[in-house]
Structure 1
């Protein structure tokens, strides 16, 4: 049977935007662990820690950006649905 209505909780989408913003900020503010490499006590291991840290920093920046973009998309969807709902409600109210 075909469904005749669509329910979208834009409050959940706005909450998702906020949460993803917090996650993105956490990724962006993570400290650089390369300085901890010297505590490894072995030159080869310290170099591997530095290498991993540099690669992780790049990956972390990309993740933060992607997570932020996803949050913006969720907010855009919420705004879009709210706008359409307001316009539909106004058009129905004007016909009565």
Structure 2
């Protein structure tokens, strides 16, 4: 745990964290976002890249510099004819 707050292990932290402390942490996360330092760094670098891009005449947005996360976009379903054409293209 960070600086021994709540205990040295996750189990100790869960055992020592009071309900009110948990509510305080939940409020903090809701107000300030994730506690993940890596995500905060990514957002900081994305902000810096967006500012530099815009200063130099670019039209990129903040989201253009963030990595894509989550579920991939759905692809269009292939028809039976598309599958048949694909199979014919690899014919020996």
- Length-normalised TM-score, structure 1: 0.30
The structure with more helix, counted as a fraction of residues:
1
Name the structure, 1 or 2, with higher relative contact order (CA <8 Å, separation 6+).
1
Q: TM-score, normalised by structure 2?
A: 0.31
